[in-house]
Amino acid sequence: MARKKIALIGAGQIGGTLALLSAQKELGDIVLFDVVDGVGAGKALDIAQSAPTQGFDVALKGTSAYEDIKGADVVIVTAGVPRKPGMSRDDLLEINLKVMEQVGAGIAKYAKDAFVICITNPLDAMVWALQKFSGLPTNKVIGMAGVLDSSRFVHFIAKELGVSTEDVSAFVLGGHGDTMVPLARYSTVAGIPLTDIVKMGWMSKERLEEIIQRTRDGGAEIVGLLKTGSAFYAPAASAIAMAESYLKDKKRVLPAAAYLNGEYGVTGTYVGVPVVIGAGGAEKVVEISLNSAEQKAFDKSVGAVEGLIEACKKIAPKLA
Ligand SMILES: NC(=O)C1=CN([C@@H]2O[C@H](COP(=O)(O)OP(=O)(O)OC[C@H]3O[C@@H](n4cnc5c(N)ncnc54)[C@H](O)[C@@H]3O)[C@@H](O)[C@H]2O)C=CC1
Ligand SMILES: O=C([O-])CC(=O)C(=O)O
């Protein structure tokens, strides 16, 4: 059976980590594309030279030519710029929107049958723009954020309670920004909702609120520590989980920025919701019932994303 092909657009911090993880998991042959000549090739060669000790058999290639992504099964987009301390993700909108236009054109020309995962920030607006610029079907273009935000929530809960992350699961909905909605009611420890964990007295309500806020600030916390860029290991691992679910038709239910066509009462916007990811791409948006406080928080988050989409339309009128 021929190997699958994975194209990584952007060979920076996340792109390089995506290449390493894809190789170690033997997800397919890898093309690392970057506008900066040599970056993709350098990382491809470096990772290829780890194969003898890691024991994987995949081909890696670096490039600055879009034609090399031809026939890719999965395209993961990290092209653009990350934020620095003092910036919000939204400050990246104008510069990264231009990048999405170029990337969208490249995908449309050479990889129109691919499953596309966008990571570039501000995530929900960028995945919306990338789908428009590429013209690919909405079920084949998705944004990575919810898996990362939920992983952060899981990490903080497991650490707080002194339990394995294996037994904690969490859901964070909404846009990938300050308004994201970590859902305590749908996040569990061995099946016990966090709201019950509080009732049982295992964790105080105040501590849970602090952890929820730390989750919302999870990206900024790492930007503050790194100073020169943003998180990349966990973001890459999150996108790989999504790519793997598509390539292996695992049909995992993962929180991701999906195109909403009436679900949750929202139309025409990408926002973080639980999605079944399988061979058909984003196969189904799972509509969980929200109580009034959760709905209010979700609506606020959708409003923030819609504001960014309007800003995109002003900058690039052809998106309107
Ligand atoms: N969705 C999420 O949860 C997360 C999103 N991000 C975002 O991911 C993006 C990438 O982050 P990093 O990899 O850390 O940044 P990075 O700066 O290390 O890598 C970005 C790469 O994109 C390349 N690039 C710039 N313009 C390009 C173009 N027109 N075509 C192709 N490549 C181009 C750059 O040369 C650079 O190598 C940022 O926008 C960041 O904010 C980061 C973490 C989590
Ligand atoms: O915070 C950032 O700029 C990068 C990001 O989206 C994250 O790590 O969640």
Tens-digit pLDDT profile for residues 160-219: 999 999 999 999 999 999 999 999 999 999 999 999 999 999 999 999 999 999 999 999
- Note the ipTM here: 0.99
Average pLDDT over residues 22-44: 98
Alpha-carbon distances of 55 from 23, 41, 110, 233, rounded to whole Å = 10, 21, 31, 21
Q: Judging by beta carbons within 10 Å of its beta carbon (0-12, 13-18, 19+), is residue 76 exposed, middle or buried?
A: buried
pLDDT in tens, 267-282: 999 999 999 999 999 9
Ligand 1 in reach of 9 Cβ (< 6 A): yes
CA torsion 10-312-144-279 (nearest 10°) is -90
For the Cβ of 222 lying below 6 angstroms from any atom of ligand 2, the answer is yes
Tell how far the Cα of 147 is from the centroid of ligand 2, in angstroms: 12
pLDDT digits (tens, 9 = 90+) for 95-128: 999 999 999 999 999 999 999 999 999 999 999 9
Residue nearest to atom 5 of ligand 2 (CA): 219
- Catalytic status, residue 155: no
Helix (H) / strand (E) element for 16: namely helix 13-24
pTM: 0.99
Q: Rounded to whole angstroms, how far apart are CA atoms 127 and 117? A: 8
Name which residue sits closest to atom 8 of ligand 2, judged by CA.
219
> Average pLDDT of 60-67?
98
Q: Measured from the CB, is residue 22 less than 6 Å from ligand 2?
A: no
Instruction: Tell me what pLDDT residue 1 has.
Output: 79
Q: Ligand 1 pocket test: which of 32, 64, 68, 81 has the largest number of ligand atoms within 8 Å of its C-beta? A: 81
* Residue 2 CA, ligand 1 centroid: distance in Å: 30
Q: Which of 4, 132, 155, 176 is catalytic?
A: 176
Are 239 and 18 a contacting pair, CB within 8 Å?
A: yes
Average pLDDT, integer, range 47-72? 98
Q: Is 300 helix (H, G, I), strand (E, B) or coil?
A: helix
